[in-house]
Homo-oligomer: A and B are copies of this chain.
Amino acid sequence: MSISDSARAEVLAQAFPYIERFKGKTVVVKYGGAAMVNEGIRTAVVEDLLFMSCVGIRTVLVHGGGPEIDGVLRRLGKEAQFIGGLRYTDGETMEVVQMVLAGKVNKDLVALIQRGGGQALGLCGADGGLLTALARTAGPDLGLVGDITKVETRVLAMALDSGFIPVIATIALGRTEDEVFYNVNADTAAAEIAVALGAEKLVLLTDVPGILRDPQDTATLIAELPRAEVPALVKAGIVSKGMIPKVECCARAVEGGVGRAHIIDGRLPHALLLEVFSDRGIGTMIV
């Protein structure tokens, strides 16, 4: 890379006010989808987490893993079923979800952080009773899809106080004998966790540059979006399809006390640092 040493030194020196601003604060990052599949991007995301954690930002990573789940289901000869864009989760699927999210994706991310020189702790909703859920009752029957009813942050506080980056697979503990685990939405889980931790920021790493008034024109990016305006944008169709739940959970997070919520383009290398360590930021900020 062609940046001179003196330019590098200057960049570092200019990072000081951002570090001071976020030191000791909590940032919850949701990571999933396409940004997770590309190895270069994955490496850059891990580097961002390492930097944020090492300068004293309490960094929490929440991840999804849909493509990997589909892959294993396929190998088992089982077809993934979606109802209204949501995975129908029967008992056998749930077992796969659990194995893939908590055993494969989660621990692979932990391994990446550890090998990068950081300290990570891979958690699912059972560990320390982190996430409790009940079966979703509204909408169509989705099987073992649940909604979070409680976030118990003790295990996160312990990990963050000891300098670990908690990495969270979003399966939650059920309350009945038969339904030990529920599949919960990762964006929503990230938002609930951010609220429970009183986070300064919630950042969703997505596959889009943010919310665009015209999806064909990145110049129409909405940089800052007051949460009160979300319903109107949904109504106008500017926020649509898969973006609706993302924007709504950002709005709820801010409503719940999180400082700022961000929808940014996880495909950009070092998107996290671009957002946190500059005045402009990137993507759409929900306030």
- What residues of chain A have their CB less than 8 Å away from a CB belonging to chain B? 1, 3, 5-17, 19-20, 23, 44, 47-48, 50-51, 54-56, 72, 75-76, 95, 98-104, 106-108, 110-111, 114-117, 119-124, 126-129, 154-155, 158-159, 162, 164, 171, 173, 180-181, 268-270, 273-274, 277-278, 280
* Contact in complex: A8, B51 (CB < 8 Å): no
CB-CB under 8 A from A162, the residues of chain B are: 154, 158
| Chain B residues, CB < 8 A from A3 | 3, 7, 10-11
Q: Are A11 and B8 in contact (CB under 8 A)?
A: yes
CB nearest neighbor in B for A11: B11
Known pairs A8-B278, A270-B6, A274-B5; A110 contacts B126 (CB<8 A) = yes
When C-beta atoms are compared, the residue in chain B nearest to A121 turns out to be B127
CB <8 Å contact, B54 and A13: no
* B residues in contact with A48, CB < 8 Å: 9, 13
Contact B269 A6 (CB under 8 A): yes
A55 touches B273 (CB 8 A): no
Across the two chains, which residue of chain B brings its CB closest to A112? B180
CB closest chain-B residue, reference A271: B9
Find A270's partner among B9, B23, B173 (CB 8 Å cutoff). Answer: B9
Is there contact, CB below 8 Å, between B273 and A12? yes
A175 to B77, CA, bound (A): 34
Q: Contact check: which of B8, B100, B101, B128 meets A119 at CB < 8 Å? A: B128
Partner of A108, one of B1, B16, B180: B180
Chain B residue numbers with a CB within 8 Å of A124 are 107, 110, 122
What is the oligomeric copy number? 6
CA distance A10 to B158 in the complex (A): 30
Query: How far is B114's CA from A164's CA once the two chains are assembled, in angstroms?
Result: 22
Q: Which residues does chain B contribute within 8 Å of A101, judged by CB atoms?
A: 103
B117 touches A128 (CB 8 A): no
- Please tell me if the beta carbons of A51 and B127 are within 8 angstroms of each other in the complex: no
- With A76-B76, A128-B164 as contacts: A104 and B99 at CB distance below 8 Å: yes
CB nearest to A270 among chain B residues: B9
Q: Are B47 and A13 in contact (CB under 8 A)?
A: yes
Residue in B47, B107, B126, B180 whose beta carbon sits within 8 Å of that of A126 in the complex:
B107
Residue pair B104, A95 in contact (C-beta under 8 Å): yes
Chain B proximity of A206: nearest CB distance (Å): 18
**Contact of B51 with A13 in the complex, beta carbons under 8 Å:** yes
Contacts of A75 in B (CB 8 A): 76
Q: Across the interface, which residues of B come within 8 angstroms of A55, CB to CB?
A: 19, 54-56
Find chain B residues with CB under 8 A from A5 CB: 274, 278, 280
Closest to A124 in B: B107
| Nearest chain B CB to A282 CB, angstrom units | 8
Choose one: B12, B107, B278; the contact of A11 (CB below 8 Å). B12
